[in-house]
């Protein structure tokens, strides 16, 4: 019970900060992701001062509270949003999300999945201990199996909750990751509903919301409840799409651009491939909006770049190892032009194993969904949205394929596919679900609202 209370407070204490930019219900969804990002900033404080993670995290939240209290504009914004009553649709979104959250909280047993125990929860245990635990792990050759230099969002969030509730608790760690994933998916769906179909009838749009949040927590066979962070990674990429694509056809405003920058930072902070996935989305967004460039358009790119540079600076400061399964991919690209190379042979092996059973069916599904999107909304904006969705999916699949073909584990391709395929393809899988969600939402937006009678 103490663990659940600590997790609830971890989310709710950030709610006043989230309310500065979101209405009540979306702000609650956003609070989990913001709490995790604050936990990342708490890591250097913990390592340099020896403060427990929860103390460093509370200090940062208190600084944010002080800024709100000291700046009249922020105070007025917070008061205004607190007084705003959630819509009927938002109340239903909250109810649907609460049911899913309660199910996930009741579900987890001790983690049995390898990455959950040996990477994300193991890293959290280092952060929950003295600073030397995390720093020593970076230079310990015996711990290379755990990839000590991986991004920190999930481990930092778990360590903060552990620090507040009495120490390491593997089941609680699973719940932290599950809640982060669920609320990020709910935020993406709620944002897309607000932007794609603001006038849709709540009763018509809610099934789509429930479908997408359910897809987020079940993608890859239930990664969210197993301690894996791949579904969370996918959720941050979808959040970036939800913030960007509905506004195609007009200049990107400062509010949405700023939130997209936060989503880009989150995508970089979950897993190492997040920077490339987010970059693919941003590049396709730039292509689709090339006639509507404005200064705010640069913000998501700036957020991505700053997060990547900050992660490299931090990795250098703590002495994190540079090894990665994607190491050497760029250097080996010329092999794809040489039919006699090892890379070419691995590409043929990948095609034999997955082309007919996975890639082609997914491409056909994407093409059908994009066609439906253009049928239900044959506008220039929908064409641009389709370009970004399809282009992002193809690019991310290409990044994954290149990693398999040219990465460090390419010599053990069949084993690598067997252990990681469902996880690494969680993001393109969720893009397919989001495309279906978009089709449904745009379709129901054409259903007329009932006339209001006295």
Give the closest residue to 64 by CA, choosing from 104, 100, 34, 94: 34
Quote the tokens at residue 161. 């909750």
Would 89 be classed as within a structural domain? yes
Instruction: Report the pLDDT value the prediction gives residue 238, as an integer from 0 to 100.
Output: 96
pLDDT over threshold 70, residue 323: no
| pLDDT mean over 376-404 | 87
Highest mean pLDDT among 37-46, 84-93, 144-153, 211-220: 37-46
Instruction: Report the pLDDT value the prediction gives residue 368, as an integer from 0 to 100.
Output: 87
Which is more confidently placed, 138 or 418?
Answer: 138
Domains held by the chain: number: 1
Alpha-carbon span 241 to 210, nearest angstrom: 18
Would 400 be classed as within a structural domain? yes
Give the closest residue to 152 by CA, choosing from 247, 57, 72, 218: 57
127 torsion bin: left (phi>0), alpha (psi -120 to 50), beta (else):
alpha
Quote the tokens at residue 164. 């507040």
- Average pLDDT value over all residues in the chain: 88
Quote the tokens at residue 448. 């007329």
Instruction: Report the pLDDT value the prediction gives residue 413, as an integer from 0 to 100.
Output: 82
Would 246 be classed as within a structural domain? yes
Phi, psi (5° rounding) for residue 291? Answer: -95, 0
Place 372 in a pLDDT band, splitting at 50, 70 and 90. confident
Alpha-carbon span 255 to 250, nearest angstrom: 14
pLDDT over threshold 90, residue 441: no
pLDDT tens profile 1-27: 788 899 999 999 999 999 999 988 999
CA atoms within 13 Å, Cβ hemisphere of 208: 29
Instruction: Report the pLDDT value the prediction gives residue 414, as an integer from 0 to 100.
Output: 83
Domain that holds residue 313: 2-444
Would 360 be classed as within a structural domain? yes
Q: Which of 256-265, 320-329, 431-440 has the lowest mean pLDDT?
A: 320-329
Instruction: Report the pLDDT value the prediction gives residue 112, as an integer from 0 to 100.
Output: 66
Place 453 in a pLDDT band, splitting at 50, 70 and 90. very low
Would 454 be classed as within a structural domain? no
Alpha-carbon span 143 to 118, nearest angstrom: 9
Would 34 be classed as within a structural domain? yes
Instruction: Report the pLDDT value the prediction gives residue 15, as an integer from 0 to 100.
Output: 96
Give the closest residue to 191 by CA, choosing from 249, 252, 259, 250: 259
Instruction: Report the pLDDT value the prediction gives residue 361, as an integer from 0 to 100.
Output: 83
Alpha-carbon span 452 to 72, nearest angstrom: 38
Instruction: Report the pLDDT value the prediction gives residue 454, as an integer from 0 to 100.
Output: 41
Would 450 be classed as within a structural domain? no
pTM: 0.93
Burial environment of residue 68 by CB neighbours within 10 A (0 to 12, 13 to 18, 19 or more): middle
Would 449 be classed as within a structural domain? no
């Amino acid at each position: 019970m103490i663990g659940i209370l600590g997790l609830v407070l971890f989310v709710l204490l950030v709610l006043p900060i989230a309310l500065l930019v979101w209405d009540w219900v979306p702000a609650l969804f956003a609070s989990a992701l913001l709490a995790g990002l604050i936990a990342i900033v708490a890591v250097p404080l913990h390592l340099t001062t020896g403060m427990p993670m929860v103390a460093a995290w509370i200090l940062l939240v208190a600084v944010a509270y002080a800024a709100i209290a000291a700046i009249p504009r922020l105070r007025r914004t917070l008061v205004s949003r607190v007084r705003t009553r959630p819509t009927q649709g938002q109340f239903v979104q909250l109810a649907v999300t609460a049911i899913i959250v309660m199910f996930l909280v009741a579900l987890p047993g001790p983690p049995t999945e390898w990455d959950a125990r040996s990477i994300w929860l193991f890293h959290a245990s280092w952060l929950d201990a003295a600073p030397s635990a995390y720093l020593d792990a970076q230079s310990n050759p015996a711990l290379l199996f755990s990839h000590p230099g991986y991004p920190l969002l999930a481990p930092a969030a778990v360590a903060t909750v552990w620090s507040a509730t009495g120490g390491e608790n593997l089941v609680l760690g699973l719940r932290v990751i599950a809640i982060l994933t669920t609320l990020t998916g709910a935020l993406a769906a709620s944002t897309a509903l607000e932007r794609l179909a603001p006038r849709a009838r709540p009763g018509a749009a809610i099934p789509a919301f429930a479908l997408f949040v359910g897809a987020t927590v079940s993608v890859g066979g239930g990664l969210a409840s197993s301690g894996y962070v791949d579904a969370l990674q996918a959720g941050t990429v979808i959040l970036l799409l939800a913030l960007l694509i509905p506004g195609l056809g007009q200049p990107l405003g400062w509010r949405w651009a700023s939130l997209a920058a936060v989503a880009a930072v989150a995508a970089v902070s979950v897993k190492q491939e997040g920077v490339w996935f987010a970059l693919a989305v941003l590049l396709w967004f730039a292509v689709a909006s090339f006639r509507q460039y404005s200064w705010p358009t640069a913000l998501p790119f700036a957020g991505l770049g700053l997060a990547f540079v900050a992660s490299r600076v931090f990795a250098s400061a703590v002495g994190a190892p540079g090894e990665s399964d994607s190491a050497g991919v760029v250097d080996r690209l010329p092999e794809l032009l040489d039919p006699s190379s090892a890379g070419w042979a691995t590409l043929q092996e990948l095609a034999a194993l997955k082309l007919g059973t996975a890639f082609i069916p997914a491409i056909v599904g994407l093409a059908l969904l994009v066609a439906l999107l253009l049928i239900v909304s044959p506008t220039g904006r929908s064409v641009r949205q389709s370009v970004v969705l399809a282009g992002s999916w193809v690019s991310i699949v290409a990044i994954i394929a290149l990693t398999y073909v040219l990465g460090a584990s390419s010599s053990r391709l069949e084993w690598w596919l067997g252990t990681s395929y469902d996880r690494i393809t969680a993001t393109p899988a969720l893009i397919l679900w989001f495309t279906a969600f978009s089709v449904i939402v745009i379709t129901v937006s054409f259903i007329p609202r009932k006339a209001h009678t006295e």
